[in-house]
Amino acid sequence: MTKAKEYEARTEELLMPIIEANQFELVDVEYVKEAGTWYLRAYIDKPGGITIDDCELVSRSLNEKIDEEDYIPDAYILEVSSPGLDRPLKKDKDFARSLNKEVEGKFFKAVDGQKEFVGVLKDFTKETVTLEMEDQEITVDRKNLALIRLYIEF
C-alpha cells in the first residue's frame, strides 16, 4: 500500500464516527500533491446537500483527531467539501445511486470507435459496467473507464 493510500485509509477510519454522528455520507478521501503542495481532501454529502457549516464542523473535528494521531509527517492542507454535482462515480454505492440515470464519461481505449460516451447506466459489477447507448446495451470493463459521472444537461 502506498503512503497516500495508507493516509487515506487512516483518515477514513477517523472520519467515520464524525460522519455517522452527523448522518452525513463520506464520498471520498484523497491525499494528493498538486503544484508542490500536499492536500488531504474529504468529500462529504447528505440528502439536500452539504453546507459550509457542515464542512467546518467535520473539518474541525477531523483536524483534532489527526493532530492527536499525528500520522502524516508531511506538511499538507486539509480540505473538507461537497463532491459537487459533477463528481465521478467511483464506489459501488455511487454506481447503485446512479442506476437507470444518464451518465457521461471517457474510455481509456475506444469502444466501438468512441472514446467519449453518453448513455444510461443499466447495471454494474465489480469488474464491468453496462450502458445503454443508442438503443443498444454494451458492457465494458470498469478498468477501461477513465471517467464516468452523472450527465448534467445545461
Residue in this structure with the C-alpha cell 467519449, named with its chain if needed: 116
pLDDT at 10: 97
pTM metric for this prediction = 0.74
> Quick check: 54 pLDDT over 90?
yes
> Three-state DSSP class for 80?
strand
pLDDT at 142: 95
> Quick check: 154 pLDDT over 80?
no
pLDDT level of residue 60 (50, 70, 90 thresholds): very high
Average pLDDT over the chain reads 93
Q: Which amino acid is at 61?
A: S
Report the distance separating Cα 97 and Cα 88, nearest Å: 12
Share of the chain above pLDDT 70, in %: 100
Report the distance separating Cα 71 and Cα 83, nearest Å: 25
pLDDT one-digit tens code per residue, 73-122: 999 999 999 988 788 998 888 899 899 999 999 999 999 888 999 999 99
Domains in the chain, CATH or no CATH each: 3-81 (3.30.300.70), 92-150 (2.30.30.100)
